[in-house]
Structure 1
Amino acid sequence: MRIIDLSTPVDASGWEPDPLIHEIMTPAEAARHMSEEMREHFGIEFDPAELPGQELLSLDTLTLTSHTGTHVDAPAHYGSTGAYGVPRTIDQMPLEWFLRPAHVLDITGVEPDTRTVGVPHLEKELARIGCRPQPLDIVLLHTGASRHVGTPRYFTEFTGLDGPATDYLLDLGVRVIGTDAFSLDAPFGDMIRRYHATGDPSVLWPAHFAGRRREYCQIERLAGLETLPPTGFRVACFPVKIAGAGAGWTRAVALLDE
């Protein structure tokens, strides 16, 4: 079996709209920290000088949102209520959703000014690759946006799904839709411009808000989709079990039998 990494890194050196702070405690600093913590919490005295090289173990502390890096959105992310009942949080989602056969749909050919794809494009792409997703299959959208990871362009230059296209995939029984872009919807600025021009609220976050009517998850900020065959592989994307959270990070990978 060949394993292909589909995840973007959590990298504090790249550009992010939300705070991302990565603090590293060196092994020497951690030895002193451990000594102080043992004394304060457990009344145990231990001199760090007794350790080899006066070092213990490094410790990383991160400040970030659950939507930093490759992550899975839970239904609770889309709103506080759903037509199907109370939306589930990420720790409540069934694990069998996250290890499934998968298919890649190429939407890199969409005109840059369009910023969204609809049902006709998805139907054409599925016909091209000769595939019809089965219930619970995972569908991944290759937009090409991952080439901008770490820069402001990653958050403004990508293509999303419109509302009918999202429902089309959900009607097929898909419950996990992934993208190598920042969002499954179009860029914020594009949606808001179209809303101001048309007054139509349906252009605002249609892919996310579909999750208020239909229970499903998104994987956002994937990478490496251009390296995959269009079908015939599996994806593993188990989300981190964060109690009560609307999303959880994942180390998403493709599994290809050889």
Structure 2
Amino acid sequence: MDFASKRLIDLSVGLEPGVASEPFPPQIGYMDHEEGAARLAGNLQALGHDVAGEEFPDGQGLAWEEITAIPHAGTHLDAPWHYGSECDGEPAKTIDEIPLEWCCGNAVILDFTDLDAGAEITPEQIDDRLAALDHELSAGELVFIETGADDLWGEPEYLTEFPGMGAAATKHLVEQGVKVIGTDAYGFDKPFDEMGRRYVETDDESELWPAHFAGREVEYCQIEKMANLDELPRRTDVPVVTFPVKIAEASAGWVRPVAMVEA
């Protein structure tokens, strides 16, 4: 691929300490260059070498950070193991077992910005959007759900103001060969408060994380907390890569989805 002729569009948010749109925000400790020099000097001293931090060029060593974060902070890819221990009777894949082939290809972006916060996306609504795009899904395509919620990133409302996928809609996509479904919202399902309200009202356990738990029956991964889907110049045939960080036996991995379109 000629990358010089491509415009790369970042479809992610980052890890930010103390951000209001994360219920479990990352903790990031920053070490500046002077502290880095002292730390490196200490490493050399432990090896028997008489070196002081002040002796580094300009008294500066290497800056680095220490991060404490769940892999579901920031933009991330959920593995089938996140949804349950088994998928269709087989052991569910952890993030380090996800085939890379699932995580790259052409994406289709479905616009649900017209839906109210708390609404549940249905198979019929998915088909309506695909029909409006005059597009039939092919196995291996990625589907991204655009809600517009990324405009609220950094605000408490980011956690509540978005529609979410339902179990039937999720299965509908996976049964057409889609292995990765993304959303620009905080979560793949409806907001927590809406799921809780529906469950208390109906006493129906299927109201609790229905789209996630669909992954116990059909095998797929979901990307949560995407961004900038509105910057893509077209809605279909968008080349993307979205490879997750490998974390041994984990339920998710941080990811930075990137679209590659004509410059």
Fold match (TM-score > 0.5): yes
Cα deviations by residue, 1:104-151 (Å, 9 ceiling, x for unpaired)? 000111133x52110111110000011112111100000011011111
| More divergent stretch after superposition (5-14 vs 222-231) | 5-14
| More divergent stretch after superposition (42-51 vs 83-92) | 42-51
Assess if the C-alpha contact under 8 Å between 2:116 and 2:162 holds in 1: no
Deviation of the 1:24 alpha carbon: 0.7
- 230, 233, 250: which is aligned to 2:238? 233
Q: Which amino acid aligns with 1:24?
A: Y
Assess if the C-alpha contact under 8 Å between 2:79 and 2:221 holds in 1: yes
Structure 1: gaps of 5 or more residues: none
> Is residue 53 of structure 2 the alignment partner of residue 51 of structure 1?
no
Q: Secondary structure at the match of 1:104?
A: strand
Assess if the C-alpha contact under 8 Å between 1:184 and 1:220 holds in 2: yes
Distance 2:39 2:116 in 1: 55
Deviation of the 1:102 alpha carbon: 0.4
Cα deviations by residue, 1:219-240 (Å, 9 ceiling, x for unpaired)? 0000001112111211110000
Assess if the C-alpha contact under 8 Å between 1:108 and 1:143 holds in 2: yes
Aligned to 2:3: none
TM-score of the two chains, using structure 1 as the length reference: 0.95
Assess if the C-alpha contact under 8 Å between 1:235 and 1:252 holds in 2: yes
Aligned to 2:34: 28
Aligned to 1:153: 157
Q: Secondary structure at the match of 1:32?
A: helix
Deviation of the 1:48 alpha carbon: 2.0
Assess if the C-alpha contact under 8 Å between 2:116 and 2:163 holds in 1: no
Distance 2:48 2:93 in 1: 42
Q: Percent identity?
A: 41
- 146, 165, 168: which is aligned to 1:164? 168
Aligned to 1:96: 101
Assess if the C-alpha contact under 8 Å between 2:80 and 2:221 holds in 1: yes
Q: How many residues align?
A: 256
Q: Secondary structure at the match of 2:8?
A: strand
| More divergent stretch after superposition (156-165 vs 15-24) | 15-24
Q: Secondary structure at the match of 2:28?
A: strand
Q: Which amino acid aligns with 1:153?
A: E
Cα RMSD (Å) of the superposition? 1.3
Distance 2:50 2:218 in 1: 56
Aligned to 1:191: 195
> Is residue 253 of structure 2 the alignment partner of residue 255 of structure 1?
no
Q: Which amino acid aligns with 1:43?
A: G
Assess if the C-alpha contact under 8 Å between 1:154 and 1:182 holds in 2: yes
TM-score of the two chains, using structure 2 as the length reference: 0.93
Distance 2:220 2:236 in 1: 21
> Is residue 80 of structure 2 the alignment partner of residue 75 of structure 1?
yes
> Is residue 65 of structure 2 the alignment partner of residue 60 of structure 1?
yes
Aligned to 2:220: 216
Assess if the C-alpha contact under 8 Å between 1:84 and 1:214 holds in 2: no
Distance 1:201 1:13 in 2: 33
Deviation of the 1:4 alpha carbon: 0.5
Deviation of the 1:13 alpha carbon: 4.6
Distance 1:111 1:219 in 2: 21
Deviation of the 1:32 alpha carbon: 0.3
Distance 1:2 1:80 in 2: 40
Distance 1:157 1:47 in 2: 53
> Is residue 129 of structure 2 the alignment partner of residue 131 of structure 1?
no
Assess if the C-alpha contact under 8 Å between 1:162 and 1:203 holds in 2: no
